[in-house]
Structure 1
Amino acid sequence: MDLLAVHTSVARQDQANALARAAVEQGLAACVQTEAIRSTYRWQGEVVCEDEVRLMFKTTRALYPALEALLRELHPYELPAIYALPVIAGTTEYAEWVRSSLRQPDQA
């Protein structure tokens, strides 16, 4: 299966909405889900605990480089976490919908 679930997080819902809309409008994600989370991490020597919004982009391996480039360009963080997890199983119909909702990789 060539589907990926690409994750990142931002500080606010409006930032998440902007990233999600750009990815879907450009055909780099079939769907983007957002959810409120609480993150604890070390940044510049200090432990920080903050509310964030996690995004999950549904895309393909072929479009990952273009999606990553878009996220790097638009992401508000100095060092955003952008990572992809393979979808190892899923319904054939859903996978076909994802693929049909995306632009062709040669257009990336």
Structure 2
Amino acid sequence: MAHESQAAPAPSIVVYVTVPNKEEGSKLASSIITKKLAACVNQIPGIESTYWWEGKVETDSEVLLIIKTKKSLLDELTAHVIQSHSYKTPEVIALPIQGGNPAYLKWIEESTK
């Protein structure tokens, strides 16, 4: 007799986006959630980023957004960040979620479009 099995949730990812301040982070996070491009956006203030930009080393205070979403939404999320962001070249880096709480991963899928 075959057992009924539940389908595995769609592949999920974590996306990192840095923003210059809390206000821009809150606005971007809200628009991402409103458009159902992600299930959750964490905002981590007080990070310091050091990077190469236009031939020199820069250091700035930033806020890191950690975005949990489905892999299938990455292109749309990236386009939204680029359109909404104040940086000329905003960071959008996606990392795969290899596993975790099945109920949480299902929630990501159900909370996004």
TM-score, L = length of structure 2: 0.87
Q: After the TM superposition, which residues 62-73 of structure 1 pair with which residues of structure 2 at under 5 Å, given as runs? A: 62-73=72-83
Asked whether 1:41 is paired with 2:51, we answer: yes
Q: After the TM superposition, which residues 16-35 of structure 1 pair with which residues of structure 2 at under 5 Å, given as runs? A: 16-35=25-44
Work out which of the residue numbers 13, 32, 36 in structure 2 matches 1:4.
Answer: 13
Point out where structure 2 has 5 or more consecutive residues left out of the alignment: 1-9
Alpha-carbon distance between aligned partners in 2 of 1:101 and 1:50, rounded to the nearest angstrom:
33
Q: Tell me which stretches of 4 or more aligned residues in structure 1 moved more than 6 Å.
A: none
Aligned counterpart, 1:106: none
Rg: which structure is higher? 2
Alpha-carbon distance between aligned partners in 2 of 1:44 and 1:83, rounded to the nearest angstrom:
20
Alpha-carbon distance between aligned partners in 2 of 1:9 and 1:32, rounded to the nearest angstrom:
12
Residue 39 of structure 1 aligns with an amino acid whose one-letter code is: S
SS in 1 for 2:72: coil
Residue 35 of structure 2 aligns with an amino acid whose one-letter code is: Q
Kindly report the root-mean-square deviation, in angstroms, between the aligned alpha carbons of the 2 structures.
Answer: 1.0
Q: How many residues align?
A: 103
Identity of aligned residues (%): 33
TM-score, L = length of structure 1: 0.91
